Amino acid sequence: MTEKQKMLAGELYNACDPDLLVELNHVKTLCQQYNNLLPTDFSARNSMLQQMLGAADADTFINQPFYCDYGRHIRVGKRFFANFCFTVLDEAFVTIGDDCFIGPNVSILTACHSTDPVERNTRMEWAKPVTIGCNVWIGGSVTVLPGVTIGDNCTIGAGSVVTHDIPANSVAVGNPARVIKTITSDTNP
């Protein structure tokens, strides 16, 4: 297997693999180009997003600046909106459903590193996918950690750190985020 195949399979891989570094640097250039577009040039911005992301549509809107590692591993649903400073480390797939709103300074992380400093310094790592359902609102300065699934119709409160799965129809807050409210079906959109 190539290092990229290992990465996408969730296996241990060399993060300094030359082929991966070429791809990372290419996408960093695309992010810089995107971030330097005029904020009012909606057509060019959307065109670049559709080029960079694995799935996006004509209504995908991400305020600048936006940062990601690979881009093609990010799939967003219909009418996706993300505010300023959206960061996605997409070493694994990040799948986001329809009608999701992301607040400013949100980070979605898939890369995992050893807690052992000797192992960590080898630059070997692994990745776990993140899945976010439809109709989800993620408040400002939230961090979503590797391997997390957030169900449909959830709200994640500002400043939360999501370390484990959040079931559908939940409001979760805190560090680590915990469910504080269940939304009843008659209040769902």
Q: What are phi and psi of 20, to 5 degrees?
A: -65, -40
Upstream peptide bond of 176 is cis (omega within 30 degrees of 0): yes
- Tokens 């400093």 locate to 117
> Cis before residue 65, ω within 30 degrees of 0?
yes
Residue closest to 81 by CA, chosen among 46, 40, 36, 129: 46
Beta bridge partners of 170: 182
Marked catalytic residue, from 26, 73, 113, 164: 113
In this structure, the strands spanning 124-127 and 178-182 are unpaired
| Terminal Cα-to-Cα distance of the chain (whole angstroms) | 44
Please indicate whether residue 113 is annotated as part of the active site. yes
Residues belonging to the active site: 113
